[in-house]
Amino acid sequence: MRIPGSSLEAGLQYFGRSLSALQDLDGDDLLDLAVGAQGSAVLLKSRSIVQINVTTSFQPHSINVIQKNCHRAGRESACLNATVCFLASSRSPGSHGTYFDMSIKTLLDDRKILARALFDLNSQRHSFMSISIRIGETTCYTLSFHVVDTADYIRPISFTLSFRINDTESGPVLNEGWPTTYKNFVPFFKDCGEDDVCVTDLVLQAKMEISGTRQQPYVIRSSRRRLLVEVHLENQLENAYNTSLTLLYSKNLHFSSLSIREDTQFKIECTALGSNSHSCNVSYPVFRSDSKVNFMLEFEFSCTSLISKVQIRLIASSDSVEKEATLSDNEVHLQTVVQYEPDLFITSDSNLNRYEVHPSRTASEGTGPEFYTHFRVHNLGCFAISDLELRAHLPAVGSGDRVFSTVVHAFSPNASGVNCSIVGDLPTLKSSQRHVRPQHPEDMKKTELLNCSSAWCVEVLCHIQQLLKGQTAMIRVTRKINDSFFRQAKFKEVTIVGSYQLSARESSLISMGRAALLRETTLEVLKGRSIPISLWILIGSIIGGLMLLALLVFILWKE
């Protein structure tokens, strides 16, 4: 050890030219050192050198989270006592029985960001205190702490202690190189045999309540937008600590709830990991050996993501050891092909449901009034529908190419993105409607209907680009009746029956269901009767009118 004179007193010269260590100059039973210099001497006092032995014990010896023994912060906890003992020894004469003070710092779970244990004194993971130590005697003190809920019940909790001597000027000094930090570990009680290593074997089984293929997809309807998954989990070997079930599912699903089927002691809690994943703790903190649990997972179908496949992946895991040979039954992958049935409501109404043809009109009055039919498509579901087609077939041409109804125009007065086209070219109609047997006007006594079997029908095709949730698209089709056709026809009453149907272009994802049913729109046409008037009635009416006029003139002349 080198002691420079400049560190003791400025201006010392020839420090160390003489040494003397023969006397105890301050009466502490330790020989002091006198060091000579030019013109002066310096007295270096000796101090005791101590060695401090530390022992730590815990009661109980391990942490039992299955059978908790205390309550902290209103919850059951596992509580422990740490007893720390100090024994200071020194070879220096006269040091036995000497007191000195030390500062002690203790820390729980030093390598964890979130502590799994806290001291009872301050509910913190660290503790500070000062104690008095007497050389040659053992001094002990006790610190109580408790274990909080944690996901890690496998790795032990560390207990770190460090100390220092307070009086660095006159008290004893610690032997050079002697440790001042001690670390102990408190293990968790695992109940896994003599080797204390839990080897588990988790077996996972699951099935969905629905099933669909590409040839026959499962149809999701508005009346049932929920999906149930039945899950069975069992542990066939030793305890499984921190057992969890990870749920990964496609974007067209939302996790709703989990319910245990039997009234058992198991508790399962789920937390979201992301928008399409959850983690569920099973029988936290330990899923015991030979335990079995059955529960139901409930999902809801999304209203924003429409995908043709439903996919669910379930993974069972724990912090215990599981052999590679048994891991294959820890994971289940479920999938099925689906289609979506939109909740569409279709109605039609007309401002003309019955029309009477007057036989006495002239040829210039051969066309009847315009009338319109409104087709309304209501989206009552929870998701938007794209690329809808409303196709209407309206009877228009009879035998001999005689036109009895004309489609004037078709459009949507309330919705954008609706485009309508009219196919009324007669050669085109005849080419596409070869099954039609047109009705001749003189043969109409034998029928009561004019439909697309007895007349060629004009086709109105309206493309609806998108129909949002809660939106209604209205399409107005304006028509005219040709009076001359019915004036020549021999009938009393006939009904013009048109049809309309809704479809979706994206048929692989959408199943129209009841919305695709063929519906009808009708117009009843009546033929008016001409009433003949006798010539004598006309003559009598004229004579009577003239006589009444003469009477009025006579009365006025008299006055």
**Structural contact between residues 420 and 438, judged by C-beta atoms closer than 8 angstroms:** no
The first and second tokens of residue 224, run together, are: 């049932």
State residue 477's pLDDT score.
96
Separation of CA 536 from chain center: 90
- Which fold does the domain 49-186 belong to in CATH? Immunoglobulin-like (2.60.40)
Q: Which sequence spans correspond to the domains of the chain?
A: 16-46, 49-186, 202-339, 344-527
Helices and strands, number each (H, E), in the chain: 3, 36
Q: Which of 248, 221, 409 is nearest to 332 (CA)?
A: 248
Q: How many whole angstroms separate alpha carbon 138 and alpha carbon 54?
A: 10
Q: Terminal CA-to-CA distance of the chain, rounded, Å?
A: 163
Task: Give whole-number Cα distances, 80 to 145, 152, 327, in Å.
Answer: 6, 18, 36
Local mean pLDDT, 10-residue blocks, the chain (559 residues): 62 60 58 63 66 92 84 88 92 73 91 84 91 90 88 82 84 84 87 78 95 92 90 92 93 93 80 93 86 93 92 93 92 95 92 84 64 94 91 92 92 91 91 86 78 93 93 94 84 90 83 85 83 66 81 74
State residue 295's pLDDT score.
93
Q: How many whole angstroms separate alpha carbon 327 and alpha carbon 202?
A: 8
Q: E strands, 341-431, where?
A: 344-350, 354-357, 367-379, 385-397, 405-411, 418-423
Matching CATH topology for 49-186 and 202-339?
Answer: yes
**Structural contact between residues 269 and 221, judged by C-beta atoms closer than 8 angstroms:** no
State residue 363's pLDDT score.
45
Task: Produce one character per residue of 65-79: b if its CB has 16 or more CB atoms within 10 Å, e if not.
Answer: beebeeebeeeebbb
Helix H segments across 354-458? Answer: 426-432
Separation of CA 434 from chain center: 54
The first and second tokens of residue 14, run together, are: 């020839």
Question: DSSP character for 188?
Answer: B
**Hey, which CATH number is domain 202-339, 1.10.10.10, 1.10.1760.20, 2.60.40.1510, 3.40.718.10?**
2.60.40.1510
State residue 30's pLDDT score.
58
CATH number, span 344-527:
2.60.40.1530
Please tell me whether the overall predicted TM-score, pTM, comes out greater than 0.95 for this model. no
Q: How many whole angstroms separate alpha carbon 554 and alpha carbon 384?
A: 83
State residue 32's pLDDT score.
61
